Structure 1
Amino acid sequence: MLTRADIGVIGGSGLYSLLDDAEEIQVPTPYGPPSDIVTVGRIGSRSVAFIPRHGRDHRFPPHRIPYRANLWALRSLGVRQVLAPSAVGSLRAEHGPGTLVIPDQLVDRTSGRAQTYYDAGHAVHVSFADPYCPSGRAVAIEAARSNGWETVDGGTLVVIEGPRFSTRAESRWFASNGWTIVGMTGFPESVLARELALCYTSLSLVTDHDAGVEAGEGVTHEEVMKFFAQNVTRMRTLVADTVEALPTEPTCPCGSTLDGLDLPFELP
């Protein structure tokens, strides 16, 4: 039975079939249980831990996901690189449904979410200028393009609180700032990964144009889920190919994020 993993995947239930030799593990954390039981298995020669972001029964809305527990659980299993597939809305007319965006920047428009591990003891200031792993991004882009997937290299993901979608005015404001896509789960997931010195790469599948981009009745949850389900096989292939191509010994700066900092506790 596998009890360790090199790579973590946080995503939807359609990704379960990724793993061979899969085992389920209960992983306790100081922040409560993760979204669900962690599944550990293999993709080729790589050991992988999978967490369904919203829970198997989709019981956690975006603002209630136990983000801190999820990332802590992955690190405690040995994970040092994380892939995060998700559904997003496009703020750009030219990036329609089916486009894959590998963002390189992020804007936080959430409120009230626990977004740090370092909220007691003493202040710890972690660099977050570039939120995503440069190595993971490059590998994901190459894997997607080699499979013929229209892929946007870079762009800004704006994360909203949810669970409601944007108004047209909000959507137009986001676009006017030059931002590219909008989602509900990319923060604090990304910053918590950074606070644990984990590589983190977002695989953002455009499922719709956001409300301010085109006329109509606006985005619905049913449409988003239906489109993502139609593309889940493609996303599984991308995740698997990216996992196998990720470096076994990362040379990116993510792992040295905490070097020289006085942490108030020991990391798992």
Structure 2
Amino acid sequence: MPVIGIIGGSGLYAVDGLQGATWQAHDTPWGAPSDDLLHGTLDGVDMVFLPRHGRGHIHTPSSVPYRANVAAMKAAGVTHLVSVSATGSFRDAMAPGDFVIVDQFIDRTHLRPKTFFDTGLVAHVSVAHPTCPDLSAACVRAARAAGATVHDGGTYLAMEGPQFSTLAESRLYRSWGCDVIGMTNMPEAKLAREAELHYASVAMVTDYDSWHPDHGQVQITDILETLHGNIGRAAAMVAALPGLVADGPCAEGCDHALDHAVMTAPDARDPDLVARLRTIAGRVL
């Protein structure tokens, strides 16, 4: 049976309807995650929820402990990790209130550690296709069942933040072919691949960033109003996932991403780093 993990972005701080729901503290070799993890079951499927910014929204996009978050999910037995986040849109057709099931990223962040590996234990995983196609397909079906307008596929520009884009930046990212913009899916997606988790990204559009001639600059009040409407659909999407997510290998090989990734010879590996990585990479170490 799969264990479904949900990382909730702005506005999504809990999952209603979990049976036996309990908040549990976790610790990892990379510190504590953003908050306690909410454990429970939904329709007989184990589910673990983590508010990315913490309850009360205490973490900035740059201060989110991404490594600890992914490591805590892995240690909790999560096999399928769904990221839910608020984003701006670069496309008229991707309107506020729509959901975009992201399948590509451009990473423009620069202040965040982006790997579990380090000097003494080097590994390189492929993120050519950074999301799991099977889990993404399940999210498409679940979001449509929740009544959302869903776009299957899109490129997410991950910016550092916490400020929103300048007009020049917004126009540049749009010219690159990006579809949505956010501040939190990187390095989360890269770390999920290193942890051999099936990963899907659900972008909830709240605004048109600053490029749109009819909408002007981003206003946080408008974002919050749209976000409030999105949260109900996001909760309904999460509730529909247990019947749609199946365990097992996927076409992208997410659960075997480390098969040929570790470069450091066994006798040259840092034993302390090997111990730290036991939860993440123990299968190949």
What is the TM-score normalised by the length of structure 2? Answer: 0.88
Gaps of 5+ in 1: none
Distance in 2 between the 1:8 and 1:178 partners?
A: 30
Which residue identity is paired with 1:214? P
1:205 counterpart residue number: 204
Gaps of 5+ in 2: 264-268, 280-285
Which residue identity is paired with 1:46? V
Which residue identity is paired with 1:210? D
2:3 counterpart residue number: 6
* Pairing 1:227-242 to 2, within 5 Å after superposition: 227-242=226-241
Distance in 1 between the 2:33 and 2:17 partners?
A: 20
Distance in 2 between the 1:243 and 1:126 partners?
A: 28
Q: Is this contact kept in 1: 2:132–2:250, CA < 8 A?
A: no
Correspondence 1:267 to 2:278 = yes
Counterpart secondary structure, 1:15: coil
Report the alpha carbon displacement of residue 210 of structure 1 after superposing the two structures with TM: 1.0
Q: Is this contact kept in 2: 1:190–1:200, CA < 8 A?
A: yes
Report the alpha carbon displacement of residue 250 of structure 1 after superposing the two structures with TM: 4.0
Distance in 1 between the 2:3 and 2:145 partners?
A: 24
CA deviation map 1:139-193 (0-9, x unaligned): 1112223444211111100000010000111001111111100000010111000
Q: Is this contact kept in 2: 1:15–1:236, CA < 8 A?
A: no
1:124 counterpart residue number: 123
Q: Which moved more, 1:117-126 or 1:75-84?
A: 117-126
Distance in 2 between the 1:201 and 1:144 partners?
A: 13
* Pairing 1:41-80 to 2, within 5 Å after superposition: 41-80=40-79
Report the alpha carbon displacement of residue 105 of structure 1 after superposing the two structures with TM: 0.6
Distance in 2 between the 1:14 and 1:35 partners?
A: 11
CA deviation map 1:37-62 (0-9, x unaligned): 11101111111111110010111010
CA deviation map 1:196-242 (0-9, x unaligned): 00011011111111101234441123322332122211110111212
1:181 counterpart residue number: 180
1:110 counterpart residue number: 109
CA RMSD of aligned residues (A): 1.8
Which residue identity is paired with 1:208? D
Counterpart secondary structure, 1:21: strand
Correspondence 1:136 to 2:135 = yes
1:25 counterpart residue number: 24
2:158 counterpart residue number: 159
Q: Is this contact kept in 1: 2:96–2:208, CA < 8 A?
A: yes
Distance in 2 between the 1:119 and 1:225 partners?
A: 39
Which residue identity is paired with 1:181? V
Moved over 6 A (4+): none
CA deviation map 1:109-148 (0-9, x unaligned): 1112111101231321111100101101111112223444
Distance in 2 between the 1:84 and 1:184 partners?
A: 12
Q: Is this contact kept in 1: 2:61–2:183, CA < 8 A?
A: yes
Distance in 2 between the 1:177 and 1:143 partners?
A: 30
CA deviation map 1:54-75 (0-9, x unaligned): 0101110101000000000000
Give the % identical residues.
38
Q: Is this contact kept in 1: 2:90–2:209, CA < 8 A?
A: yes
Distance in 1 between the 2:146 and 2:25 partners?
A: 35
Distance in 2 between the 1:222 and 1:186 partners?
A: 23
Q: Is this contact kept in 1: 2:145–2:240, CA < 8 A?
A: no
Q: Is this contact kept in 1: 2:13–2:51, CA < 8 A?
A: no
Which residue identity is paired with 2:87? V
Counterpart secondary structure, 1:141: helix
